[in-house]
Structure 1
Amino acid sequence: MALFFTADTHFGDHRTLNIHRRPFATVGEMDEALVTAWNAVIGPEDVVWHLGDVTRRPLDVAALLARLNGTKHLIRGNNDPVATGEADGWASVGDYAELTEGDHRLILCHYPFRSWNGQHRRAINLHGHSHGKLKPMLRQYDVGVDARDFRPVRLAELVAGKFAPLPPPSHEPA
C-alpha cells in the first residue's frame, strides 16, 4: 500500500480548461486523461487523499470514484457541495486532517496555510486550491493536478523536489 495526494481535478468542469489553461481540447478529453493518469499510478491497495474540488456535478461522483483505483479520502474544497462528500465511494470526508507518513507529520487542507499546526516542528502542509500559482512556503506543497503532471503524487516525490509547477501550455498555433 502506498499513500498518494491530489487535488483540484475539477472533473466535468469546462471552466477549468480556460481559467487554468489546461492542455486539453475538451472536457471529455481532460476527464479521460485524469482518470488514465490516476489509474496509471494508483493501484487497488493504494490510498489517495483528494484535497478538494473533485467535480462540477456531484451526481457524477459515485460513478467517477468507481472508475478510480485505490481507497479514496476527501478533504472538501470550495467547489465541493455536501452531495460530493455524501456520494458512495469515499472512505472518509472532512475539511481538515493530520496524518503521519514515515517521519513526516502532514497537515491536509484544501487551502494553503500561512501557518499550520507543527510548522516550526517540521510539519508539512499539503493543499490544493491554488492550481500551482502560489509561491510555496518552506514545507508546503500544492498537490493539485495542475502542479503535478495531472496525477496523484507521493510525499517522497514532493519532498525530493521531483515535481515543479508546470508552465502554462502554449496556445500559439503549431
Structure 2
Amino acid sequence: MSLDETAGMTIYFTSDTHFGDPRVLRIDRRPFASVAEHDEALIALWNQTVGPEDEVWHLGDFALGPPPEAVAALLGRLNGRKHLISGNNDGPGTLAAPGWESVQAYAELRVDGRHLILCHYAFRTWNQIGRGSVNLHGHSHGRLTPATRQFDVGVDVQELRPATLDQIIARKRVRKPFAETREPGGE
C-alpha cells in the first residue's frame, strides 16, 4: 500500500495510548492524577495534532477492557481516519469497535518514499532491512535500545501525541520514557 502525504492530509503514527488503563499511571509514571484525566489529556493532544482528514496508524495497545460501544465512542472523539495494528492489550472490544478504517497485526506501506514495516512489537530484522526499510513499533514504552532505522512511536516517547514520520526520525531515537524526562513535580 502506498500512502504518500497529499495536500491537506498528513499521516501520523502512535501507540500505547492505553485509554482506560490505570496501570500506565503507575508503571509508566504518566503525570496524571486519574485515568479520566489521562484519557482527556491524550484526546486533547491527539485532536490538537491530527486534523479530521489526516490518517493515523495506531500501533497497538489503544485501550484495555472497554466494550466495543465505549471504544467506538472514544474513536468518534478522535480526529482522523484511524488504522489499528493490534497490540497485546487490545481486547475483543477494541478490535471489534466500529470506527477503525482497518485492523491487522502487521502492515507494510510506503510513506514519503520510505518503505515502512508496522507492528506493535520491535523486530530484530524485518522485510527489506537491507534496502533501507524502517520498522515502526510500540510496546516498549521507550525502554528499548534503538536499532538502526527502528523507531518506537509510543506516546511515552512522542510527547503523548501522534507524530509524523519526519518528527519520529528527527527525535533521534529518544530512549527515555516521557515521565523520566520531566522535572519532579513539573507539568
The TM tier, using the shorter chain, reads: over 0.9
Cα deviation 1:109-161 (Å, max 9, x = unaligned): 00000111111111000000000111110100000001110000000112223
Deviations, residues 56-102 of structure 1 (Å, cap 9, x unaligned) = 22312101000000000000000012331110100000000000001
* 1:36-51 equivalent positions in 2, closer than 5 A: 36-51=44-59
State the SS of the aligned residue for 2:141.
coil
Distance (Å, rounded) in 1 between the aligned partners of 2:26 and 2:118: 27
Partner of 1:25: 33
- For 2:85, the aligned partner's letter is I
SS of equivalent to 1:145:
coil
Deviates more, 1:115-124 or 1:78-87: 78-87
Residue ranges of structure 2 left out of the alignment (5+ in a row): 1-8
In the other structure, the counterpart of 1:90 is 100
Alignment of 1:21-170 (within 5 A): 21-59=29-67, 60-161=70-171, 164=174, 165=176, 166=178, 168=180, 169=182
**TM-score for the superposition, normalised by structure 2:** 0.88
Separation of aligned partners in 2, 1:99 and 1:106: 5
Contact 1:148 1:163 in 2 (8 A): no
Distance in 1, Cα, partners of 2:112 & 2:96: 30
Give the gaps of 5 or more residues in structure 1.
none
Q: CA RMSD in A?
A: 1.6
Aligned pair count? Answer: 173
Letter in 2 for 1:102: D
Q: Check the 8 A contact 2:65/2:93 in 1, yes or no.
A: no
Residue 6 of structure 1: aligned partner: 14
One-letter code aligned to 2:133:
A
**TM-score, with length taken from structure 1:** 0.94
- Identity over aligned residues, as a percent? 55
Q: 127-136 or 158-167, which moves further after superposition?
A: 158-167
Which residue number in structure 2 is paired with residue 15 of structure 1? 23
